[in-house]
Structures are given as C-alpha cells and as structure tokens.
Amino acid sequence: MTQSPRRRWPAEWEPHRATWLSWPRNRETWPTRLREAEDAFCEMVRAILPGEDVEINVGDPGLAEHVRTRLLGAGINDLSRVHLRGIPTNDAWVRDHGGIFVFEQTEDGPRRVLLDFLYDAWGGKYPPWDRDERVAEQMAQIARVPRVAFDLVLEAGGIDGDGAGTILTTESCLLNPNRDRPGHDRSRAGLERVLGEAFGAEKVLWLGDGIEGDDTDGHVDDLTRFVAEGRVVTIVERDPADSNYRVLKENRDRLEAMTDARGRRLEVVELPTPGIVAGPDGRLPASYANFYFANAAVLLPVFGVDADREAIAILEKAIPDRPIVPIPGRNLVLGLGAVHCLTQQEPSLPA
C-alpha cells in the first residue's frame, strides 16, 4: 500500500515568503462600506510589506490599476514587493477560498505544496462561488508548487495549528452537515484522519460552538489561536447576560483540560471581547482572535472601543517578538470577517 507523504503545516508565526490577499470587490458583502474596506486593506498591506511580499488577487487589469491607485493614494509608494495577480474571485475571503501551503518531506528535503480543498461558501450560503473555488489551483501555478486536491469541504479559518502536530478546531463547523458530500466520511474520526494526512496533525483539539453572528458556523479563528507551541489565546466574555458568555465559557473550560501533541498542558491566555458590535442585520462577529501573524508585525482588528487597548496589551505580552499593529476592523467586520479571514500565508522554505 502506498504511504501518504509526510507533511507539516508550519505555524503562522514561522517565516513567510509572502502573504496572499483577494482584493475586496463584492458590493453585496460591503453594500455601503466597500471603499472603507479598501482603506483597511491598504493598512494591512502597509503593515505586511516591511517583512515580506504581498500577493493580491485582482482578476482583471482594471481592478489592478484601481488597486495600484488606492495603495499609492494611501502613501504606499514602493510597490516593488506587491504582486497583482490575474486571479478572479467572487469575494475577498482568501483564508477560506485560497489554498493552504504546507511542507512535504521528500528524499531531497522539504518542499512546499499547496492543499486545495473544496470550497462552497460555508455550506452554500452565498452563491455564486465559482471563481473562488478555482483560486487555489491558480495560486499553485503562480507559486510554482505542486497542488494536492482533496474531495472534501474545508476552510482554513476553521482550523489553527502550532506547527508541531497540534490542530485546534470546532465541532460546530467541521462536523456541520451542511459541508457533507455523498460518500464521504465527515465523522470526527474521519476528519482527524484527513487532518493527519493533509497537515501532519498528530492531535486534534475540539472546541464547541462559535460566537453569535459568525456565518461560518463557528470558525476557530474567531475563538482561540495558537501564539506559540503550548500557548493559546482565547476570547472570553465577562458579562453573564451576554449571548456569547456560555459558549465562550464552555470553550475556555475545555481548553483547561487539553494537552498538545507533545503532551503539554496548554497555557491559556484570556482575551476580552469587544462587546456588542452591531451591524444593519444584527450583531457582528467582532473578535480580537481574528489577528494575523506577518513577518514584521501582528495585525490586530480593532473596533473603536475601550477593550481595544486591553487586547493590544495582552497580545504584546503573549507575542513579544513582533509589534502589534491595530487595523481598523469595524468596517471589515460588516462583511462578517476580519484580518485573519482576509489573509493567507505562504511560508518560506527552511534554510
């Protein structure tokens, strides 16, 4: 029997060659705030560029020129490390519709490969997604890396890894029947086998439900994130009357009993929530856990509330090796996501 290649999903804080973005273009996602979402994208590019290249999926020459104009207008004058790619998209959520880069061991040492899972806009919620489901294949061609396709729906925002064999996820998302396909094993054991094969997961840690307003059915990148081997940050709600209180308390309690793939008890650092951030259709999934590790900074969505300062201070202690850069998140989260949902790292090969 052919043995599966040995793979490792590097942690997000490991060195990147580049960060991938899909430029926002869908007015249904940001009906009245598309320009403000673009402003936030400019700030993300500004924070990422000092440490790595930025790959931006723009689709057509007209949008490419618009993006150049927006970046230059924001004072980002050196675009030599910004690469505008002719990859068309339906929306901006590259964390979920893009490919996932992992290392695969070969006789000549590790190589990068790109994992391409099925994408269906979080259980078929937002058609059309025909362009988005082809993004990963085109990313592999541009990055010149082999593509490994999986006949399984999986979004990268639904998993988080420590680079050393431990993956965090949620039952509400990965076990949700709206991602089912006929003839596929989407049981807990079946998914753990896939995570082992695809990402080199040796242990999968399961949290419960997600926060109110999260249309992804509970992506873990709005809840709990690794910030180092053996250390996670997790959001907690202090107000017992808040609708997120019980869910977040249950997840916090589960973390207390968890050990990673090395057998270590997790060090758990608590992050506040920003409280209720309301949109036109109700509560938005605003979360400080939706940050992104770039080489030169950690990009943290902030929401113009008092808790912003506390979240920054906590992450400065939990992640001492790079600055925490606040990114205006109130307009981004009107699209029901934030910084982490809108980025995807391409790791550098180990020296």
Helix (H) or strand (E) holding 166: strand 166-170
Claim: this prediction has a pTM higher than 0.85: yes
pLDDT at 3 > cutoff 70: no
Domains and CATH numbers, the chain: 7-347 (3.75.10.10)
In 3D space, the residue among 187, 206, 210, 166 whose CA is nearest the CA of residue 341 turns out to be: 210
**What are the tens digits of pLDDT across the range 311-327?**
999 999 999 999 999 99
**Catalytically active residues, by annotation:** 341
Task: Specify the DSSP class assigned to residue 233.
Answer: E
Pick the range with the lowest mean pLDDT from 180-184, 186-190, 202-206, 311-315: 180-184
Pick the range with the lowest mean pLDDT from 42-46, 107-111, 140-144, 175-179: 107-111
Per-residue exposure over 260-278, b if at least 16 CB sit within 10 Å of its own CB, e if not = bbeeeebeebebbbbbbbe
Measured between alpha carbons, how far is 325 from 327 in angstroms, rounded to an integer? 6
pLDDT at 351 > cutoff 80: no
- The pLDDT score that the predictor gives to residue 1 is 35
DSSP H helices, 222-329, are 245-256, 307-318
In 3D space, the residue among 18, 13, 23 whose CA is nearest the CA of residue 53 turns out to be: 18
**What are the tens digits of pLDDT across the range 23-78?**
999 999 999 999 999 999 999 999 999 999 999 999 999 999 999 999 999 999 99
